[in-house]
């Protein structure tokens, strides 16, 4: 990890010529635990900006939903309650279908494909965020999503009636199509939800399961590589416009390096966390043929539904991605 930290620290050089200005403290709410790789990357990004601006902008991170609950972070940044924050992109799909571009089942199932899809989608998403008084700084993918259960599952029929943690529109719809019961649960509440039986299953990365020690309640993880959702850092547009050019350049530079570093971490963390789940007693394996085929059929349904909701802009993004 040391070369990642070095890259982020290197962005500090971008701000050495920044003109003196009044120091500002920017509180940055984040939904995931401090040990999560997204939060770690965000903390290094914050240090990079603080150093690069010569302390003119001091970013202080607040992980684990400690400043604002995950569901409230985007609204807090839009309205200026916080100048900057991190949120799961697809959590806003109910506002605009384009926010769910990263959660179309089996469209982009590898880090390489996720990067291509992000390249195709980013310009349109920046326009949407701009209309919402937000500026996109950077985005980092999660590892591929797999299915967690507290028992063996070999087909979609085996899922009927299971209480399933939903965290966005796509996961709620997946629950409906598989006969599971969706329960809205934020990341900070996962451990308690499984321990108390509020939820019995989820689709998520090995990272989330490892961070939350889900082996204390769950027994099986099936690798299905359904999608690679993304977190993103956003800045309130009014706060952004109030910065001088030098400090905006520092934030952009630190953001580019954080996106690189966070993606590298996601790749490395995938192998580490899956091994960690197995080492702590979980059964970790590829989904069987029946389960895979059942899920792909559901994925086709969800893809068509998303394309209908996203309209011409969504189709253009998907077509551009497939042409790369």
Measured CA to CA, the distance from residue 85 to residue 92 in angstroms comes to 14
pLDDT band at 17 (very low <50, low <70, confident <90, very high): very low
Q: What is the pLDDT of residue 47?
A: 98
Q: Residue 234 belongs to a domain with what CATH number?
A: 3.40.190.170
- 121: in domain: yes
Residue 205 corresponds to which tokens in the numbers above? 């990365």
Average pLDDT rounded to a whole number, residues 248-265: 97
| Residues 145/229, Cβ–Cβ less than 8 Å | yes
Domain span including residue 318: 146-226+282-323
- 128: in domain: yes
Tens-digit pLDDT profile for residues 23-52? 899 999 999 999 899 999 999 999 999 999
Across 18-22, 36-40, 74-78, 201-205, least confident range: 18-22
Whether residues 240 and 219 fall in one domain: no
- 172: in domain: yes
Measured CA to CA, the distance from residue 191 to residue 185 in angstroms comes to 10
- 276: in domain: no
Find, among 166, 109, 168, the residue nearest to 141 by Cα.
109
- 277: in domain: no
Whether residues 53 and 122 fall in one domain: yes
Average pLDDT rounded to a whole number, residues 57-86: 97
* Percent of the chain clearing pLDDT 90 (strictly above): 88
Q: What is the pLDDT of residue 15?
A: 46
CA 156 remoteness from chain centre = 26
Whether residues 104 and 186 fall in one domain: no
- 14: in domain: yes
Q: What is the pLDDT of residue 283?
A: 98
- 302: in domain: yes
Whether residues 259 and 319 fall in one domain: no
pLDDT band at 167 (very low <50, low <70, confident <90, very high): confident
Burial class (CB in 10 A: 0-12, 13-18, 19+), 152: exposed
Tens-digit pLDDT profile for residues 213-238? 999 999 999 999 999 999 999 999 99
Residue 321 corresponds to which tokens in the numbers above? 């991605």
Q: Which residue has the higher pLDDT, 8 or 125?
A: 125
Whether residues 115 and 164 fall in one domain: no
Whether residues 13 and 103 fall in one domain: yes
Whether residues 128 and 168 fall in one domain: no
Predicted TM-score (pTM) of the model is 0.87
Q: Cα dist. 23→15, 19, 42, 75 in Å?
A: 14, 12, 20, 25
Whether residues 211 and 302 fall in one domain: yes
Q: Which residue has the higher pLDDT, 141 or 19?
A: 141
- 51: in domain: yes
Whether residues 95 and 185 fall in one domain: no
- Report the number of distinct structural domains present in the chain: 2
Whether residues 314 and 196 fall in one domain: yes
Mean pLDDT of the chain: 93
């Amino acid at each position: 990890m040391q070369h990642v930290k070095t890259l982020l620290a290197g962005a500090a050089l971008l701000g050495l010529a920044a003109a003196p200005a009044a120091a500002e403290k920017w509180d940055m709410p984040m939904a995931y635990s401090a040990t999560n790789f997204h939060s770690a990357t965000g903390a290094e990004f914050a240090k990079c900006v603080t150093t690069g601006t010569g302390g003119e902008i001091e970013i202080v991170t607040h992980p684990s939903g400690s400043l604002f609950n995950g569901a409230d972070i985007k609204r807090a940044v839009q309205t200026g309650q916080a100048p900057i924050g991190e949120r799961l992109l697809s959590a806003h799909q109910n506002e605009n279908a384009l926010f769910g571009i990263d959660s179309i089942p089996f469209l982009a199932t590898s880090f390489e494909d996720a990067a291509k899809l992000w390249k195709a989608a980013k310009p349109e998403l920046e326009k949407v965020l701009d209309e919402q008084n937000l500026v996109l700084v950077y985005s980092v993918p999660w590892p591929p999503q797999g299915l967690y259960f507290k028992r063996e599952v070999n087909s979609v029929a085996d899922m009927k009636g299971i209480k399933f943690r939903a965290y966005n529109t796509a996961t709620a719809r997946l629950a409906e199509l598989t006969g599971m019961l969706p329960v809205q649960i934020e990341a900070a509440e996962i451990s308690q939800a499984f321990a108390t039986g509020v939820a019995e299953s989820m689709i998520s990365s090995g990272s989330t399961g490892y961070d939350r020690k889900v082996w204390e309640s769950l027994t099986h993880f099936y690798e299905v590589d359904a999608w690679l959702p993304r977190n993103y850092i956003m800045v309130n547009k009014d706060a952004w416009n109030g910065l001088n050019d030098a400090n905006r350049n520092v934030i952009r530079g630190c953001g580019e390096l954080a996106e690189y570093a966070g993606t590298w971490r996601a790749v490395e963390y995938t192998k580490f966390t899956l091994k960690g789940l197995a080492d702590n007693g979980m059964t970790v394996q590829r989904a069987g043929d029946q389960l895979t085929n059942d899920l792909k059929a559901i994925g086709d349904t969800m893809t068509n539904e998303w394309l209908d909701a996203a309209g011409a802009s969504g189709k253009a993004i998907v077509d551009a991605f497939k042409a790369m």
